[in-house]
Chain A
């Protein structure tokens, strides 16, 4: 048998439970060939369950060990790894949970996985020099209106349909999480990395809009104008300054 056919057969033995390869394996001196092949079969699934568990600690805690392992087995069967780095094996978990019954009937599961994926991606996402309040203070006031920023490359925001933030926080603290609720209006969560720590928080509709504009490279003066249209025009510059301050303190902005 050619090496190519051999590898095809061995892989099918592990992924699909096909026993054809057993013809080519002698019994070991102390153990049957079926049990020896079983070491590879078991290790394959257990290793990938561990990979998912390492990336989704809160989802694991929320589901409990048995349910989590059953879910992970279903995911492994559905999405064999196609990346040389196991770091990206669980990337499709949020979509899997959103689409696959019975998990799809509990939207909080997909929301939790989405949040954890975003935090993982922020953890080892690209670096960029962060702008501080001190950097800004050093600039002459007359050029402030023309300054534009870029969001830190790790910053992303996404909609969730549940109280996933509160559930995540409770799980992290090792407490009983609140009951999952589906909200009428989807909330928006912002995830980014501050120094080396991934962070998240919910954003108001106004901040979401502002944040998106910053992502497009809007200038500070334009942001004030937009806020004036969005709500009370009188307080717009102060609100813009307050968002700016918050983002600078959080390490969310880099210069364009």
Chain B
């Protein structure tokens, strides 16, 4: 552990020019069609040459000292572009940043040279406790100012723009002064952060809160979206839970079509975290996403990721 203990996010300490530089970089490249890297697939990925353009790695899984996780990661990054995706940045928390965690992200980024680093627009706990969940916030002007200052601070610490994902939510709050998409649009306008548009999460939240998923879609600034997530959910009749334990559902594929129409070619992955099927099944599902993208965008635009197809060695 470093002795840089938890200190509060003081965006004030960063010279303005630096903050703006960190928040205004070039748009990351289009990577094509990828998967979330999961340990049960290590062997098949390395022994085969699956039709996967890139991998998203869960940052926390590789924030360890050594052994198999880092050995596998090193072999993956020799062959594929990767993106780091974390779950514990807690960007919307009012608790001080865990500086050790941010140091850990930087250390891992040095190793993996990710095309971008993402986390979620949420908080994970206060008072030193981590609930290991992606918790909702009220969409207030106060919360927006707070999150803007935290994103500015993290972007300065990472020396690059952060990419933030919309989460699935189950409750809304009476205090909210704007809709989620308005909050996100304003956040990216003020900080220059990129957006990870989780198509399934929009579907889940829209059902749970009774709004139109297309309104969400149309409220997001198209030029800020650099990644899509696709995943399966569990329909509990009166609400939907984002469980990542099923294939992508038909309604979510429909929304993916609408997302492609609005945002154009965007680097896409399918996430699966439970009841993980063999790699071949995931690749077949990914092929389905390719087919849809080709239908909506035409083969040339959808296939731009071919430039970054895996090369061996």
Contact = CB atoms under 8 A, between A and B. Distances in A.
Nearest to A193: B67
Given A3-B140, A81-B132, A123 B171 contact: no
Contacts of A80: 129-130
Contact of A36 (B132, B208, B237): B208
Contact of B131 (A1, A4, A15, A123): A15
A82 B131 CA distance: 9
Contact of B67 (A1, A28, A89, A124): A124
B9 to A, nearest CB: 13
Contact of A7 (B71, B93, B209, B238): B93
Interface in B47-70: 60-61, 63-70
Interface stretch (B10-18, B120-128, B283-291): B120-128
Please classify how large the interface on chain B is, using the bins under 10, 10 to 19, 20 to 34, 35 or more: 35 or more
B101 interface: yes
A84 to B, nearest CB: 4
B278 interface: no
Contact of B60 (A31, A44, A85, A127): A85
Contact of A1 (B69, B129, B175): B175
Contacts of A83: 130
Contacts of B98: 84
B126 A7 contact: yes
Given A31-B239, A40-B170, A84-B88, A8 B63 contact: no
B131 A37 contact: no
B130 A82 contact: yes
A14 B143 contact: no
Nearest to B207: A30
A48 interface: yes
A230 B238 CA distance: 72
B138 interface: yes
A196 interface: yes
B60 A84 contact: yes
B246 interface: no
A45 to B, nearest CB: 10
Interface in A180-212: 193, 196
Nearest to B125: A11
B131 A28 contact: no
Nearest to B86: A84
Interface string B57-98: 000110111111111000000000000000010100111001
B60 A6 contact: no
Given A124-B66, A125-B65, A125-B66, A3 B132 contact: no
Nearest to B98: A84
Interface string B9-51: 0000000000000000000000000000000000000000000
Interface in A30-50: 30-31, 33, 35-37, 39-40, 43-44, 47-48
Contact of B238 (A8, A31, A33): A31
Nearest to B94: A4
A126 B132 contact: no
Contacts of B66: 124-127
A33 B239 CA distance: 11
B171 A37 contact: yes
Given A37-B170, A81-B129, 8 more contacts: A7-B126, A11-B126, A29-B209, A30-B239, A35-B238, A124-B67, A126-B65, A127-B66
19 contacts: A3-B94, A3-B140, A3-B142, A4-B126, A7-B93, A7-B94, A28-B210, A30-B237, A31-B239, A35-B238, A37-B170, A37-B171, A39-B170, A40-B171, A82-B128, A82-B129, A84-B90, A86-B130, A154-B67
Interface of B: 60-61, 63-71, 88, 90, 93-95, 98, 101, 123-133, 135, 137-138, 140, 142-143, 146, 170-175, 207-210, 237-239, 241
